[in-house]
């Protein structure tokens, strides 16, 4: 069933596709995928437009919900018919969350179920959809962040389905264990935090004061989230976005209010913080985050939490006992999140089982990537908070013909904040025009 409607300058068509839950068992259980087709209104009936499929960052996020020709979409619509795919388990596709996963059974059954929600399954979903929409013609893929990881998996598993591959902030290491990812991440996070404090020196004392309050008081946000000092530190994930440092600064400046019971964190502060920290809208991000780095018999075993212990400067209590700044953390998932967040609490045992799993399949094929024939261009953001630049460049050298654009003009969200320019540059690189 398809539904067609209009927004300014765009004709949209909603598609729903039935795909196997397990592509190794094509006649078994199925799930539903949602995807929104977008085409420029003056080309809506053109039959010769090539397709571009957008793979969202994550894992666990549905595709962007644009209004009209926002961001990179307007540039893409000048020459493509665009498909905005809600990857399995996200958005309007068959959901996978605390409400639906108990339908699978207990934690063991839930964990087994979720092993089918990684990049390899997403790529095979794309291939089924592509054949239904394009009549078999290859298409262009634009992969942002985790979507870029999926794109490298696509080049490994089904390059025949690709005309061109465009990657923004999403070139993964082909062989790094999750431990390696976080050993590279924590020093990068520290640099970002110190750069924030250099920009806003008044935030040093503000952050220390909030952290001290949280160490002394139990704070439960309106949605039931337990705001611990570690949870507060995780707001450093903002520092990987273009406006993130400024947003963090404004968040910190009015955190407290005087009440009859004494100084407390204000309702306004708590409301904004719960919106930033809650995983209610994207639980797969927390449950599967470290699994995106798993490719062999080694368990991820809560890598971010274990590796953090190697960097004692992130210990809030130690920082507050001295006169140094409190260090925020970045894009990492920790077991305490499954205690703090009511959207994750029912999934704690499921997440533990996934963290202990030792039968992960490889997501990348180095030999096939070395023989790649698909035009590939990748934007690598210098000192990207979320994806290690050195890892990305090593992978770029391992994919035959890949052209990189290494830039410090953007943070991790460059394709969202200056999408037309980023997409222009990548298309020019892929086509040999730059």
| Active-site amino acid positions | 145, 359, 412
Last residue of a domain, one of 302, 329, 356: 356
Please tell me whether residues 61 and 79 are part of one structural domain.
Answer: yes
Please tell me whether residues 43 and 59 are part of one structural domain.
Answer: yes
Q: How many C-beta atoms surround the C-beta of residue 216 within 10 A?
A: 9
Q: Tokens for 96?
A: 């996978």
Mean pLDDT computed over 225-254: 97
Please tell me whether residues 36 and 50 are part of one structural domain.
Answer: yes
Please tell me whether residues 155 and 182 are part of one structural domain.
Answer: no
Q: Which CATH number characterizes residue 415's domain?
A: 3.40.50.1820
Please tell me whether residues 347 and 398 are part of one structural domain.
Answer: no
Please tell me whether residues 184 and 320 are part of one structural domain.
Answer: yes
Looking at residue 57, what is its pLDDT?
95
Looking at residue 344, what is its pLDDT?
98
Is the pTM here over 0.75, yes or no? yes
User: What DSSP character marks residue 187?
Assistant: H
Please tell me whether residues 390 and 311 are part of one structural domain.
Answer: no
Taking only the tens place, the pLDDT of each residue in 119-150 is: 999 999 999 999 999 999 999 999 999 999 99
As a whole number, the mean pLDDT across the chain is 96
Q: Work out how many domains the chain is built from and give that number.
A: 2
Please tell me whether residues 38 and 163 are part of one structural domain.
Answer: yes
Mean pLDDT computed over 222-248: 97
Please tell me whether residues 93 and 141 are part of one structural domain.
Answer: yes
Dist. CA 382–CA 410, nearest whole Å: 8
Contacts 24+ apart (CB under 8 A), 232-235: 232/273, 233/314, 233/316, 233/326, 233/327, 233/328, 233/329, 234/277, 234/328, 234/329, 234/330, 234/332, 234/334, 234/337, 235/273, 235/276, 235/277, 235/328
Beta bridge partners of 30: 20
Please tell me whether residues 131 and 252 are part of one structural domain.
Answer: no
Please tell me whether residues 309 and 415 are part of one structural domain.
Answer: no
Is 33 in a helix, a strand, or coil? strand
User: What DSSP character marks residue 426?
Assistant: H
Taking only the tens place, the pLDDT of each residue in 179-222 is: 999 999 999 999 999 999 999 999 999 999 999 999 999 999 99
Please tell me whether residues 335 and 412 are part of one structural domain.
Answer: no
Name the residue range of residue 261's domain. 178-356
Peptide linkage before 291 cis (omega within 30 of 0)? no
Looking at residue 1, what is its pLDDT?
62
Last residue of a domain, one of 307, 336, 356: 356
Looking at residue 127, what is its pLDDT?
98
Kindly tell me the number of DSSP H helices and DSSP E strands found in the chain.
18, 11
Last residue of a domain, one of 356, 387, 410: 356
């Amino acid at each position: 069933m398809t539904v067609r409607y209009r927004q300014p300058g765009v004709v949209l068509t909603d598609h729903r596709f039935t795909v196997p839950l397990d592509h190794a068992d094509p006649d078994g259980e199925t799930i539903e995928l949602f995807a929104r087709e977008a085409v420029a209104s003056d080309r809506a009936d053109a039959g010769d437009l090539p397709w571009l499929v957008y793979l969202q960052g994550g894992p666990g996020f549905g595709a962007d919900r644009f209004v009209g020709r926002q961001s990179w979409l307007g540039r893409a619509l000048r020459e493509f018919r665009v498909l905005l795919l809600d990857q399995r388990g996200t958005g309007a596709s068959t959901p996978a969350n605390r409400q639906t996963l108990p339908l699978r059974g207990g934690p063991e059954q839930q964990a087994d179920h979720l092993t089918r929600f990684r990049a390899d399954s997403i790529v095979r979903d794309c291939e089924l959809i592509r054949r239904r929409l394009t009549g078999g013609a290859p298409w262009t893929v634009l992969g942002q962040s985790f979507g870029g990881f999926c794109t490298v998996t696509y080049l490994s598993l089904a390059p025949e389905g690709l005309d061109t591959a465009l990657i923004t902030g999403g070139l993964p290491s082909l062989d790094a264990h999750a431990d390696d990812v976080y050993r590279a991440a924590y020093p990068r996070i520290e640099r970002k935090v110190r750069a924030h404090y250099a920009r806003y020196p008044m935030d040093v004392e503000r952050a220390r004061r909030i952290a001290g309050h949280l160490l002394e008081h139990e704070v439960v946000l309106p949605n039931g989230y337990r705001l611990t000092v570690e949870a507060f530190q995780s707001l450093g994930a903002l520092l990987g976005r273009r406006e993130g440092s400024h947003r963090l600064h404004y968040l910190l400046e009015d955190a407290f209010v005087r009440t009859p019971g004494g100084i407390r964190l204000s309702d306004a502060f708590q409301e904004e913080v719960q919106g930033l920290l809650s995983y209610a809208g994207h639980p797969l991000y927390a449950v599967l985050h470290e699994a995106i780095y798993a490719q062999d018999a080694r368990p991820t075993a809560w890598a971010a939490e274990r590796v953090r212990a190697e960097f004692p400067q992130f210990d809030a209590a130690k920082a507050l006992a001295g006169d140094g700044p409190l260090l925020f953390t970045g894009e990492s998932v920790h077991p305490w999140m499954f205690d703090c967040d009511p959207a994750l609490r029912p999934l704690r045992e499921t997440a533990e089982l996934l963290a202990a799993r030792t039968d992960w399949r490889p997501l990348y094929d180095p030999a096939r990537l070395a023989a790649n024939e698909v035009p590939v261009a990748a934007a690598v953001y210098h000192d990207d908070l979320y994806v290690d630049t050195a890892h990305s460049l090593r992978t770029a050298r391992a994919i035959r013909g890949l052209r990189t654009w290494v830039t410090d003009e953007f943070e991790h969200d460059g394709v969202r904040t200056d999408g037309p320019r980023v997409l222009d540059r990548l298309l020019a690189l892929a086509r040999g025009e730059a």
